[in-house]
Structure formats: C-alpha cells, structure tokens
C-alpha cells in the first residue's frame, strides 16, 4: 500500500497560518465597465475563444490593456478592457501576449490569429501600443 506522506513524515507548513491586519490603498475599478465588456463577449475569451463554465455561470476576467496602476496610469474605460480567460489574462499581464496595431495576437514574439472583437467594443490602440511598449525586449 502506498502512503503519502510516508509514516513519520509531517507535512511542512502551519496548521493555523499567522494573520496580520493591513491597510491598502487601491484603485477603485468600475464594475460597470467590465460588466459591459463581459456582456458583449458572451463568455468567450477574446484571445483563445474558451468559455470557462463554473457552477455559477461563465467565468472570465476583465483585463486592462494599459494597466491602471502607476506608472502606467491607463484609463478605466471599455476601450481599455479585454475579456479574457484566466490563462490568457496571466499571459497578457505578464507580456507573453501582446497585440499589434491591427489587433493580431503575438504570442512570445510569434504572430497568431486576430483578437476576437465585437462591433460595439472598440479597442484603444494607444493603450495597445503602451502595453506592447511595456513588454518590448
Ligand atoms: Zn483565453
């Protein structure tokens, strides 16, 4: 019989992790902006097309093209938000995915397909350029 962890080996970590109280100043993002973008794309990631379905419905993440925080200071407007699945969100925020001015998806420097769009969802190309410049090697 296989036992994991082996007998006599205690797991690393804490049974009751320590708690601390902190004070954080954060940007107040408009939920109306991301809600509108999600509505336009009906659950499908604008980059890979995947719809993540959870028991409560489709799950996605509103992603700012030009980040809101300093020093990027992007606008909290629908033309600066993409509707992405969690994987594409991480890749976009980490610079593994950028967009060209023609909204071609570049994955690690290689062109792939065009960003999925919606007629009412305009994309701010100045924000696209700032995101791309941020990750230019
Ligand atoms: Zn995706």
Q: Is 24 within the bounds of a domain?
A: no
From ligand 1's centre to the CA of 66, what distance in Å?
18
From ligand 1's centre to the CA of 24, what distance in Å?
30
From ligand 1's centre to the CA of 45, what distance in Å?
5
- Residue 113 pLDDT > 70: yes
Residue-wise pLDDT tens digits, 37-94: 999 999 899 999 999 999 998 898 999 999 999 999 999 999 999 999 999 999 999 9
Beta-strand ranges (E) seen in 1-137 are 52-54, 57-59, 61-64, 81-84, 97-99, 104-107, 110-114
Beta bridge mates, 59? 52
Residue 102's pLDDT is 97
From ligand 1's centre to the CA of 115, what distance in Å?
11
From ligand 1's centre to the CA of 83, what distance in Å?
9
Q: Is 10 within the bounds of a domain?
A: no
Domain range enclosing 71: 31-135
Q: Is 21 within the bounds of a domain?
A: no
Q: What is the pTM of this model?
A: 0.83
- Binned at pLDDT 50, 70 and 90, residue 27 comes out as confident
From ligand 1's centre to the CA of 101, what distance in Å?
20
When divided into structural domains, the chain yields a total of 1
Residue 8's pLDDT is 81
Beta bridge mates, 104? 114
Q: Is 107 within the bounds of a domain?
A: yes
Q: Is 12 within the bounds of a domain?
A: no
């Amino acid at each position: 019989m296989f036992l994991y962890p082996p007998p006599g080996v205690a797991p690393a970590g804490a049974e009751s992790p320590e708690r601390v109280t902190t004070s954080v100043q954060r940007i107040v993002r408009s939920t109306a902006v991301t809600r509108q973008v999600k509505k336009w794309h009906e659950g499908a990631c604008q980059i890979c097309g995947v719809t993540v379905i959870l028991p409560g419905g489709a799950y996605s993440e509103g992603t700012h093209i030009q980040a809101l925080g300093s020093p990027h200071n992007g606008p909290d407007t629908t033309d600066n938000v993409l509707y992405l699945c969690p994987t594409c969100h991480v890749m976009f925020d980490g610079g593994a995915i950028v967009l060209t001015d023609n909204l071609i998806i570049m994955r690690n420097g290689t062109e792939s397909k065009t960003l999925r769009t919606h007629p009412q969802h305009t994309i701010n190309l100045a924000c696209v350029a700032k995101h791309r410049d941020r990750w230019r090697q």
